[in-house]
Structure 1
Amino acid sequence: MGLIQIIGILFALFALSRVVLQLKKRTMSTNEGLFWIFIWVSVIILLMFPEFTSYVANILGVGRGVDAVIYISIVVLFYLIYRLYAKVDNLERQITHIVREIAIRDRYEPKKRD
């Protein structure tokens, strides 16, 4: 096992521990936690058994295992970007709604000045 594999496994274990900690504190939803646990366990497995990437590459019809990992990573990153975009868009809508409600309330109930 090479040094880069050991460092990668240690980092993935650290990240996995953070996910578990967030799940225990309930600062992350169960679905998000399961997604990240799947990601980090997959990283650990791929680092421990790098020949598995060649097997996946053959199934996907890609030349090398590393290429398959890169392609899959790009797809996952696009999905995560989409999810972030959707959440930001939802937050913007909520903020706009709250600001409108406050503006309407303040129009009919002026603030008392000290």
Structure 2
Amino acid sequence: MELIQIVGVIFALFALSRVLLQLKKRNISINEGLFWIFVWSLVIIFLIFPEFFGYVAEFLGVGRGVDALIYISIVILFYLIYRLYAKIDNLERQITYIVREIAIRDRHEPKKRD
């Protein structure tokens, strides 16, 4: 096993422990936790068995395993960016609603100035 594989596995195990801790504290949902457990488990498998990339590349019709990894990573990153965009958009809508409610409430109860 190469040094980069050992460092990668240690990091992935650390990240996996953080996901499990977040699940235990209920800071993330079960679905999010399962997604990240799946991702970090795949990272560990790929680091321990790098030849598996060749099978994935062959299945996807890509030349090399590293190319397959890059393509898959880009797709996953785009998906995660979309999820972040959707969450931010939802938060903006909630903030707008709250600000409007406060403005309507304060219209009837003006603040006293000193």
TM class, shorter-length: over 0.9
Could you list the structure 1 runs, at least 4 aligned residues long, displaced by more than 4 angstroms after superposition.
none
Query: Secondary structure in 1 aligned to 2:41?
Result: helix
| Residue 41 of structure 1: aligned partner | 41
| Residue 16 of structure 1: aligned partner | 16
Deviation at 1:112, TM superposition (A): 4.3
| Residues 62-98 of structure 1 deviation map (CA, whole Å, 9 limit, x = unaligned) | 0000000000000000000000000000000000000
| Residues 29-67 of structure 1 deviation map (CA, whole Å, 9 limit, x = unaligned) | 111100000000000000000000000000000000000
| Residue 31 of structure 1: aligned partner | 31
| Residue 68 of structure 1: aligned partner | 68
TM normalised by structure 1 equals: 0.97
| Structure 2 letter corresponding to 1:39 | V
Deviation at 1:110, TM superposition (A): 1.9
Gaps of 5+ in 1: none
| Residue 86 of structure 1: aligned partner | 86
| Structure 1 letter corresponding to 2:60 | L
Deviation at 1:111, TM superposition (A): 2.8
Counterparts of residues 49-60 of structure 1 (less than 5 Å): 49-60=49-60
C-alpha distance in 1, partners of 2:70/2:52? 14
Deviation at 1:5, TM superposition (A): 0.2
Identity across matched positions, percent? 81
CA RMSD of aligned residues (A): 0.9
Query: Secondary structure in 2 aligned to 1:16?
Result: helix
C-alpha distance in 2, partners of 1:3/1:33? 28
Number of equivalent positions = 114
